[in-house]
Amino acid sequence: MTDDPTTSPAVPDSPEEPSVFAQGARYVLVGGGSAALELGIFWALHNPVHLDVRVSNIIAVLIATVCNFIANRNWTFKATSHVMRSAVLYLIIWSLNLVFTTSVIYFANTRGFSPDQILKAMMTVDIGLK
């Protein structure tokens, strides 16, 4: 039997990609889980541990962001693109979000809003935006 260069070798079937509806549902689950994780960590660091609201927020956002990126990349979208490119783009958007949310939390706290009031407001915004 001779090798015919015009025929392509058999390619194993790739796993079926999730439907748009399934991706949307996964995205909402990951976003809601990330928001809950972020808010829980923020509350735990600020209330029982008594860390400054800025430090509590930064740590909570860092942990939730890593979890969100990994879950969305591997489960929601099953991304196959270069991980560094995806991470850089994600980090640019994340950095803007971190500066904005930390500034809002600090400003609200210096204006007399308690961390619990800020937490409730964050939960409302996070669940709506993620």
Distance CA 87, CA 81 (A): 10
Which candidate, 66, 105, 106, places its Cα nearest to that of 87?
A: 66
Q: What is the DSSP letter of 82?
A: -
Does residue 119 belong to any structural domain of this protein?
Answer: yes
Q: How far is residue 65 from each of residues 22, 86, 105, measured CA to CA in Å? A: 22, 13, 18
Does residue 13 belong to any structural domain of this protein?
Answer: no
Domain count, the chain: 1
Residue 40 has a CB neighbour count (10 Å cut-off) of: 14
Assessment of whether the complete model's pTM goes beyond 0.85: no
Read off the pLDDT of residues 19-78 as tens digits, 9 standing for 90 and up.
Answer: 889 998 998 899 889 989 998 999 999 889 999 988 998 899 899 999 999 998 999 888
Does residue 11 belong to any structural domain of this protein?
Answer: no
Find how far residue 41's CA is from the centre of its chain. Answer: 14
Boundaries of domain holding 56: 20-129
